């Protein structure tokens, strides 16, 4: 299953996207990249391929700053506009498929911010692959304040050794958001779902488990 290049209009410019749809797709996920790597990063490719094997179509896309080759993330308003444009494109490319949105780290946070400001059309839930609750070494929950305004279901896929999400703080945030949130933990995994060898790390198995959970959670919300 190969990825099809697409172009997505954002404000007065366009960004690149990659569309992957298995033959018997059950849902589609708009998958936004992290702050330091674009849509074609090996982790993003592995996630899209793995979800495709599990019957989930994906639309990856570059944020405008990544498209320009810049290292500085866009202003939130532009990032949110990119998420909205990609969501509309995914709905166009996969008509009739249940629609979800989210992404890796920064991409997931920009998606949730966009959703909190104004619901993304047709989106049934948000999927976070390593929600960046705070900067490394500076625990806090300010980055989660906007989540109170998100009314669709949310899935947090996190490693228990994630330097960007203190586990006690994350559990408190998720508990405060109530029944619309689900937290799935990968033991000893870091922000990129890598598990050190001293803990018997098997990154392939961890990734498979994470993607299985994401698929099952989305499919459970398609009816």
Residue 164: its pLDDT value, please? 98
Starting at the edge strand found earlier in the chain, the sheet holding 181-186 runs 4-10, 13-20, 56-61, 27-32, 99-104, 123-129, 154-159, 181-186
The set of residues, in sequence order, having a beta carbon less than 8 Å from that of 55 and lying 6+ positions away, is: 22, 24, 25, 26, 27, 215, 219
Closest by alpha carbon to 63, among 28, 19, 95, 33?
A: 33
Residue 77: its pLDDT value, please? 97
**Which CATH number does the domain housing residue 193 bear?**
3.40.50.1820
C-alpha 59/C-alpha 30 separation (Å) is 5
Residue 11: its pLDDT value, please? 87
Closest by alpha carbon to 109, among 181, 15, 33?
A: 33
Per-residue pLDDT of the chain (223 residues; tens, 9 = 90+): 789 999 999 988 999 999 999 999 999 999 999 999 999 999 999 999 999 999 999 999 999 999 999 999 999 999 999 999 999 999 999 999 999 999 999 999 999 999 999 999 999 999 999 999 999 999 999 999 999 999 999 999 999 999 999 999 999 999 999 999 999 999 999 999 999 988 888 999 999 999 999 999 999 999 8
- Is the distance from CB of 193 to CB of 207 less than 8 angstroms? yes
Residue 43: its pLDDT value, please? 97
Q: Tell me the three-class secondary structure of 185-197, residue by residue.
A: EECCCCCCCCCCH
Length of the chain, in residues = 223
Expressed as residue numbers, the domain containing 27 is 4-219
Query: 75-99 burial, b if ≥16 CB within 10 A, otherwise e?
Result: eeebbbbbbbbbbbbbbebbeebbb
For the chain, how many structural domains are there in total? 1
Tokens of 165: 């999400």
Q: The pTM is what? A: 0.97
Residue 126: its pLDDT value, please? 98
- Is the distance from CB of 67 to CB of 91 less than 8 angstroms? no
Tokens of 16: 């690149």
């Amino acid at each position: 299953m190969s990825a099809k290049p697409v172009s997505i209009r954002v404000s007065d410019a366009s960004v690149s996207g990659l569309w992957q749809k298995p033959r018997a797709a059950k849902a589609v996920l708009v998958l936004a990249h992290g702050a330091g790597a674009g849509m074609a990063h090996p982790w993003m490719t592995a996630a899209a391929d793995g979800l495709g094997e599990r019957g989930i179509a994906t639309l990856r896309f570059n944020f405008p700053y990544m498209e320009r080759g810049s290292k500085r993330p866009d202003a939130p308003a532009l990032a949110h506009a990119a998420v909205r444009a990609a969501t509309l494109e995914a709905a166009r490319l996969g008509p009739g498929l249940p629609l979800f949105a989210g992404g890796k780290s920064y991409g997931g946070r920009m998606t949730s911010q966009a959703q909190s400001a104004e619901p993304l059309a047709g989106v049934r839930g948000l999927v976070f692959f390593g929600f960046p609750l705070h900067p490394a070494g500076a625990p806090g929950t300010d980055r989660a304040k906007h989540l109170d305004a998100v009314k669709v279901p949310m899935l947090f896929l996190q490693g228990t050794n994630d330097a960007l999400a203190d586990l006690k703080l994350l559990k408190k945030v998720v508990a405060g958001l109530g029944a619309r949130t689900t937290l799935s933990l990968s033991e000893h995994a870091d922000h990129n779902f890598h598990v050190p060898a001293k803990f018997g790390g098997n990154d392939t198995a961890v990734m498979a488990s994470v993607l299985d959970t994401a698929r099952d959670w989305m499919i459970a919300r398609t009816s």
